[in-house]
Amino acid sequence: MHRIDQRFVELRRAGRKALCVYLCVGDPSLEASGFLAVEAIDAGADILELGVPFSDPTADGPTLARAAERAIAAGATLERVLDVASRIRARSEAPLVLFTYYNPVLVAGEAKVARLAREAGVDALLVVDLPPEEAGPLRGACAAEGLGVVPLVSPTSHAARVEAIRRASMPLDGAPRAFVYSISMTGVTGASPSDLAAAARDAEAMRRSFDRPVLVGFGIDSGVSARLAAGEATGGADGVVVGTALARRIEQAASGDEQRRVVRSFVGDLRRALDEPA
């Protein structure tokens, strides 16, 4: 079984929600991102999303847009993010998802990116501006390397659209099932939380139709909101994704040591909130 699918089986068996943590790799430096990723895993993150910074991050709010600007200034590119991934992989078996905009993948070449990602120990790609209609070639290239491509579902995705996404994102032979990313609200990353309890209920329905794990992201900025978005212990979502709230803490930390401390304490808080008995 693929590493990422194995992780979801283990979590389910243990009755735990998945905590997926997004890091903009290269913010504040490529080296620091490697350390911060390991801190996050040690503090209880189950899955890491490794963000490739992009010059025109139209789906991101100001916090992650600033993080991307700093990361690009620090020399982060898709290939260097994959170097960081392989360093994390040398330390941990946590599933790694490469989170990127499409242009860096297209310019480098889809087959090449899939091969380099597999060599770096990445399990799946999530391309934020690549709807399933356009994702065919990348899905093929990734499946050939044993990687998945994570589909996104939004509150604006009407029933027929959700069904179309489901069909177009069925795991190909050789690819992991990975998960479905359910966006909790219309907006950019880091906007104020909306009705996360409703998002958890939607995720439960989505999991039944997709027959794949569903993670809820956008607007989760605390243990309380993580718990709300994850929903009931036996239903709800399979887990949550937290990005902006962590990037903001990293941005505000005064030193490298403090960055590691805030990652450890914030990810730890999220972990405890998700693991609390109902």
Is residue 49 part of the annotated active site? The answer reads: yes
Task: Write down the least CB distance from residue 102 to other proteins, Å.
Answer: 5
The Cα angle at residue 14 between residues 11 and 17, in degrees rounded to 5: 45
Task: Write down the least CB distance from residue 48 to other proteins, Å.
Answer: 21
Is residue 119 part of the annotated active site? The answer reads: no
Task: Note the helical H segments in 120-183.
Answer: 136-144, 159-168
The answer to whether 134 and 105 have CB atoms below 8 angstroms apart is: no
Task: Write down the least CB distance from residue 164 to other proteins, Å.
Answer: 6
48 vs 165 by CB, closer to other proteins: 165
44 vs 148 by CB, closer to other proteins: 148
- Tell me the DSSP string of 95-113: -EEEEE-HHHHHHH-HHHH
81 vs 175 by CB, closer to other proteins: 81
Can you give the binding site for other proteins, defined by CB under 8 A? 54-61, 65, 69, 72, 77-79, 102-108, 128-134, 152-158, 161, 164-165, 167-168, 183, 186-188, 191
Place of tokens 């790799």: 25
108 vs 172 by CB, closer to other proteins: 108
Residues 22, 221: Cα–Cα separation, whole Å: 12
Amino acid identity of residue 58, one-letter, is T
The Cα angle at residue 66 between residues 225 and 86, in degrees rounded to 5: 80
Task: Write down the least CB distance from residue 186 to other proteins, Å.
Answer: 5
User: Of the listed 49, 123, 238, 251, which one is catalytic?
Assistant: 49
Neighbours of 149 (CB within 10 A): 25
Backbone angles phi, psi at 175, to 5 degrees: -95, 150
Residues 114, 110: Cα–Cα separation, whole Å: 6
Task: Write down the least CB distance from residue 185 to other proteins, Å.
Answer: 9
User: Of the listed 27, 60, 202, 221, which one is catalytic?
Assistant: 60
43 vs 116 by CB, closer to other proteins: 116
* Catalytically active residues, by annotation: 49, 60
